[in-house]
């Protein structure tokens, strides 16, 4: 019996229910017909020139990305625009595209759980819980160590990127409790449970939110911040996601792209 895109999306909705995505999100089928035969799937964090090329040259029938290509509205598929050009290439190459974004974040085995497992963080609970046993981010702990030791450990466990690991806090401070959120997590900086931990690990921290958080932390638990690559933190989840889809659809071949789609290519240290 031929597996179709409809079958794949049905399995995806069971694994990572679309009903669980954020209101502003746009997960689900990006392009492709429901009766499109699917025998192989490639997982990637982003839909870019490199991952589309890998999917088409590799003969994959579907590209499942964590970040939806059409997250923000667009009014044209003009091929002089990169999104239109990528969609056109996918369609011509016979490769469907599907996004699994915040619905993949919020399940118990989602992006933050995968990041915590890699970093050796014993998970206690989500930062923000939902009604399916998962939620946004995690609260947990590591064996007591210095902030510097923890940061170095993170650097050794995450895929290397130009931005490296940025830390705000005292190198020698002893830490034990950890909060983290894979991907952009500055929306959780004001959460009381984050402020109660020794260190918060996330990505895409901007100057003002990070500075204000650390200034306020002086009057409380002195919570440190560790900023890691958005791509690297979420790429860790792809193996879990691919394994779960493979179990749900054992007749298809599933692979995780190891292409680094972090947008930064080099850094100049001062």
Rounded alpha-carbon distances, angstroms, from residue 50 to 45, 258, 262: 12, 11, 12
Order across the sheet with 40-44: list the strands: 28-31, 96-99, 62-65, 40-44, 253-256
Q: Sheet of 199-203: strands edge to edge?
A: 122-129, 135-146, 174-184, 199-203, 224-228, 166-168
Q: Could you tell me where in the chain the CATH 3.40.1390.30 domains are found? A: 5-104, 106-233
For residue 200, what pLDDT is reported?
98
pLDDT given at position 211: 98
At 49 the pLDDT is 98
Q: What would the pLDDT profile of 174-230 be if each residue is shown by its tens digit? A: 999 999 999 999 999 999 999 999 999 999 999 999 999 999 999 999 999 999 999
Query: What pTM does this model have?
Result: 0.95
Per-residue pLDDT of the chain (270 residues; tens, 9 = 90+): 799 999 999 999 999 999 999 999 999 999 999 999 999 999 999 999 999 999 999 999 999 999 999 988 788 888 999 999 999 999 999 999 999 999 999 999 999 999 999 999 999 999 999 887 789 999 999 999 999 999 999 999 999 999 999 999 999 999 999 999 999 999 999 999 999 999 999 999 999 999 999 999 999 999 999 999 999 999 999 999 999 999 999 999 999 999 999 999 999 988
The CATH fold of domain 5-104: 3.40.1390
The sign one gets for the Cα dihedral 96, 22, 118, 124 is negative
At residue 72, the pLDDT reads 82
Instruction: State the alpha helices, DSSP H only, in 16-81.
Output: 49-57
Report the distance separating Cα 200 and Cα 181, nearest Å: 8
Residue from 65, 61, 68, 70 nearest 96 by CA: 61
| The predicted structure's pLDDT at residue 132 | 73
CATH topology of domain 106-233: 3.40.1390
Check residue 76 and give its pLDDT: 87
- How many whole angstroms separate alpha carbon 159 and alpha carbon 149? 18
């Amino acid at each position: 019996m031929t597996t179709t895109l409809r079958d794949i999306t049905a399995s995806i909705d069971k694994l990572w229910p679309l009903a669980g995505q954020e209101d502003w999100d746009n997960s689900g089928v990006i392009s492709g017909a429901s009766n499109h035969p699917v025998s192989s799937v490639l997982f990637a964090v982003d839909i870019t020139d490199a991952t589309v090329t890998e999917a088409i040259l590799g003969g994959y029938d579907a590209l499942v990305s964590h970040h939806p290509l059409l997250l923000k509205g667009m009014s044209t598929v003009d091929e002089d625009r990169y999104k239109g050009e990528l969609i056109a290439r996918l369609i011509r190459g016979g490769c469907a595209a599907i996004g699994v974004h915040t619905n993949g974040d919020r399940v118990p085995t989602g992006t933050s759980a995968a990041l915590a497992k890699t970093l050796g963080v014993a998970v206690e609970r989500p930062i923000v819980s939902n009604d399916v046993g998962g939620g946004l981010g995690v609260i947990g702990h590591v064996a007591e160590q210095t902030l510097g030791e923890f940061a170095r450990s993170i650097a050794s466990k995450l895929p290397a990127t130009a931005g490296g690991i940025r830390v705000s806090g005292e190198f020698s401070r002893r830490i034990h409790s950890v909060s983290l959120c894979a991907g952009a997590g500055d929306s959780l900086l004001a959460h009381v449970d984050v402020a109660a931990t020794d260190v918060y690990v996330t990505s895409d921290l901007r100057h003002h939110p990070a500075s204000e958080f650390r200034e306020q932390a002086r009057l409380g638990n002195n919570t440190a911040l560790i900023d890691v690559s958005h791509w690297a933190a979420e790429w860790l989840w792809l193996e879990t996601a691919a394994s779960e889809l493979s179990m749900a659809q054992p007749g298809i071949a599933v692979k995780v792209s190891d292409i680094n789609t972090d947008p930064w290519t080099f850094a100049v240290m001062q």
